[in-house]
Chain A
């Protein structure tokens, strides 16, 4: 229904205000038709806002959940597979550090550019004159788990609210924000699974057959390690749905003209008698979250 919202025969578009019928109760006659579920304090048709709010929720939380799962899988899978044992040639280190310095705009960005250029020069030299290059360890596990623990130690709502309120995010910005704060859970699940899988005989056999570790990781280990995400993904979507609604309720999520259940619920603050602006979107939200939880449970049983 959410995806078909633009094609549904709704009596009013979600962004249009019926100014003569503001905060009207359900089943009231409007300017050009019936407001089946009433209007909000700005005269918008609640039915249309609910349908398009569902669309907003789907279009925002589904990609965010998938992207967070992807990011978490890659990070957690790498951390679990290689731990802190991976090593990287010094020129690549220089390139990465220089790029980071420059990218994060540390003082005197030219220093970063210079270090990166040094790294590139060393890589070119190494390609021209093949000889052993010194390497430094890359503590993938420590970096990934450190980042995840840091993110987990800050209450997610506070973190998202602080960033969203400070920067005034747009819809793509909110998508990025939700993704970047939701990946640690997937990373922990995949890492835990990967720690078990990397000791299994078929992985050892692949190593013995001479396959590169990257190939083993991507083609053989990772597909098995991400199995728990089948259960976790619906729960992650449910969590993001709740978070998006909370942000919109607080007025710091999506732009005011984008239909959202959370924003509709917030209308009750200005119009305490308009119970339908709270009850109906809250029902939709609860039903969606319960359904997603049930889906997660059924996936878990099937595993």
Chain B
């Protein structure tokens, strides 16, 4: 019996040792693990597909200006100071920057104005996936380097926008030496590249595009504080702080350049309940955007055991239902307005956010009192009005049946049927509740709605390829910039304008907002724009979400704010006096 017992205990000990070493990877104690709902898909800094990708890219790259979460304002990052702007005539703005002398690439080479010029040109280089940046930064028409200081430069912008001082610094700077060692892009001016047709052949540009595309995800050299050490698709992304991060040499280190934790990891857990369990077990450190009920339950449950900290502040994230205006049935504003009355936004806010958050008339936050159009009222839940609008749009009840609406457009023999499919991310219970409520309301009017809960990656693809009639998603905003062109301008159709909505009036307004000369004028235009959107209804803004974050009590420096992603990831660190996680 005895020898058997010893062997058994030895076996148990060996298994225990193995499982211990398997479940505790190297550096577990150091890495700060943040929950991600889905994979970033791409880390191409010129075209980041989602917030997760933006958060990850923010660790690898640095832009001229970044949001300072401690002061809730835009602060210089790669730039030495906030830029100065000079109005030239009545249609030009010059914004001047100087890059910090301490800023270097990983090779030790300095970050120079030539790198900024290269990045801007890369945004317009054919063959490079850069559609989003092309739209966003098309207003910059040239870069004038300072002949006496290689770090100083001036950006020349079309128009005279009040946002230019901030908008011109909102892109990641990429190294010319690593991506274009032959200096192929130097042969072209920025304006020439902007004018150049996408399919015009040039071997030099093709070589740059090829080199850019050939880089493995996350291997694009950046001057950010972290480097990507591992990326397992749909599982995790791991980052390690660079040994010679130039930002740490600055004294005092500006908040936006702080990189306190040695290791960071994004752990991809689509299911919120699983993520919550992981947080409680200590396998996660930060759970951003926690669902309302779970947040409340956990806060109540852990009141006696202070292992977690809870934060809730208003955010600039708005839950929105969008229409595919390219679909014939949804092409007219009356039908879209009719369907917008089927959303019970007040009830949904109560049910999904436990009443926290704010109903809205548009995608400008009600917190922004200057720009929010408070003369409008949120779209009410009114099925009688919805039915009246459906009839007004020319739809008629299908003969001989209680369900279904049809209409025949002039010149068309085939009648259209009013039935829609609604896509939403399957892992979001808020979206599921919205979809179910909408379907039930629409069904009471005889409008058939089919629900398509979709995996996050497929959802992005479906939006890009217009494979939807309606969608529910969150749009993330900020209080600094109001360039809405990528979302609704006709130039962005087929790219980031997922609704496909276009109109001469809205295009004019969007262009005018981008170049508004002062905040008062911009506020007037934004208010007008909200009125137009409520009339045209390419989307139904339902309510603004609060930012809810649950984090390990061991962490300090979260600086929770309504700005995306809700906290300052690079400023977070474990406190020296760590409390053991139960």
A→B interface (CB under 8 Å):
13, 15-17, 19-20, 22-23, 41-44, 251, 255-257, 269-273
Contact = CB atoms under 8 A, between A and B. Distances in A.
B484 to A, nearest CB: 30
Interface string B411-429: 0000000000000001001
Contacts of A257: 436, 439, 451
A255 B436 CA distance: 11
B559 to A, nearest CB: 29
Given A23-B293, A42-B433, A269-B271, A256 B443 contact: no
Given A20-B350, A42-B436, A270 B344 contact: no
Nearest to A43: B351
B273 interface: yes
Contacts of A256: 432, 435-436, 451, 453
A17 B451 contact: no
Given A270-B273, A272-B297, A16 B433 contact: no
A77 B379 CA distance: 64
Interface string B292-304: 0110010000000
Contact of A19 (B274, B297, B351, B453): B351
Given A17-B440, A256-B453, A271-B293, A42 B350 contact: no
Given A42-B433, A42-B436, A251 B426 contact: yes
Contacts of B440: 13, 15-17
A107 B432 CA distance: 42
Shortest Cβ-Cβ A-B pairs, 5 listed: A19-B347, A19-B351, A269-B273, A22-B351, A16-B440
Contacts of A42: 351, 429, 432-433, 436
A17 B437 contact: yes
A15 B436 contact: yes
A41 B350 contact: no
Contacts of A13: 440
A23 B293 CA distance: 10
B201 to A, nearest CB: 35
Contact of B348 (A19, A41, A271): A19
Given A19-B344, A20-B351, A271-B297, 18 more contacts: A17-B351, A17-B433, A19-B348, A19-B351, A20-B350, A22-B293, A41-B429, A42-B429, A256-B451, A256-B453, A257-B439, A257-B451, A269-B271, A270-B272, A270-B291, A270-B293, A270-B294, A272-B273
Interface in B259-298: 271-274, 291, 293-294, 297
A15 B443 contact: yes
A271 B276 CA distance: 11
Nearest to A267: B429
Contacts of B351: 17, 19-20, 22, 42-43
**B297, B350, B436, B437, most chain A CB atoms within 10 A:** B436
16 contacts: A17-B440, A19-B344, A19-B437, A20-B350, A41-B293, A41-B433, A251-B426, A256-B436, A257-B451, A269-B273, A270-B272, A270-B291, A270-B293, A270-B294, A271-B293, A272-B273
B519 to A, nearest CB: 38
A95 B500 CA distance: 49
Contacts of B392: none
A259 B77 CA distance: 53
Contacts of B435: 256
Contacts of B453: 251, 256
B450 interface: yes
B433 A43 contact: yes
Nearest to B458: A168
A20 B346 CA distance: 10
B514 to A, nearest CB: 38
Contacts of A272: 273, 297
Contact of B347 (A20, A44, A273): A20
B297 to A, nearest CB: 6
Interface of B is mostly: helix
Contacts of A273: 297
A165 to B, nearest CB: 9
Contacts of B429: 41-42, 270
Contacts of A251: 426, 453
Interface string B450-477: 1101000000000000000000000000
B356 to A, nearest CB: 14
A255 B449 CA distance: 12
A144 to B, nearest CB: 37
Contacts of B443: 15
A30 to B, nearest CB: 13
Nearest to B274: A269
A162 B233 CA distance: 19
Nearest to B433: A42
A22 B440 CA distance: 16
A15 B439 contact: yes
Nearest to B354: A22
A148 to B, nearest CB: 33
A153 B435 CA distance: 39
Nearest to B450: A255
A22 B437 CA distance: 12
Interface string B386-406: 000000000000000000000
A113 to B, nearest CB: 32
A251 B426 CA distance: 9
Nearest to B271: A269
Contacts of A20: 347, 350-351
A47 to B, nearest CB: 17
Contacts of B272: 270
A16 B294 CA distance: 23
Interface string B511-532: 0000000000000000000000
Contacts of B271: 269
A132 B36 CA distance: 71
A247 to B, nearest CB: 14
B421 to A, nearest CB: 11
A70 to B, nearest CB: 30
Interface in B322-380: 344, 347-348, 350-351
Nearest to B443: A15
A255 B273 contact: no
Interface string B157-170: 00000000000000
A271 B273 CA distance: 8
Nearest to A31: B347
A13 B439 CA distance: 13
Contacts of B274: 269
A273 B429 CA distance: 16
Contacts of B439: 15, 257
Contacts of A23: 293
Contacts of A44: 436
Interface string B492-519: 0000000000000000000000000000
A251 B274 CA distance: 15
**B273, B344, B351, B435, most chain A CB atoms within 10 A:** B351
Contacts of A17: 347, 351, 433, 436-437, 440
**B274, B291, B347, B443, most chain A CB atoms within 10 A:** B347
A293 B274 CA distance: 35
A258 B94 CA distance: 59
A95 B38 CA distance: 49
**A19, A44, A269, most chain B CB atoms within 10 A:** A19
Contacts of B347: 17, 19-20
A44 B440 CA distance: 11
Interface in B239-275: 271-274
A43 B436 CA distance: 10
Nearest to B346: A19
Interface in B469-492: none
A28 B344 CA distance: 22
Contacts of B344: 19
A271 B351 CA distance: 13
Nearest to B454: A168
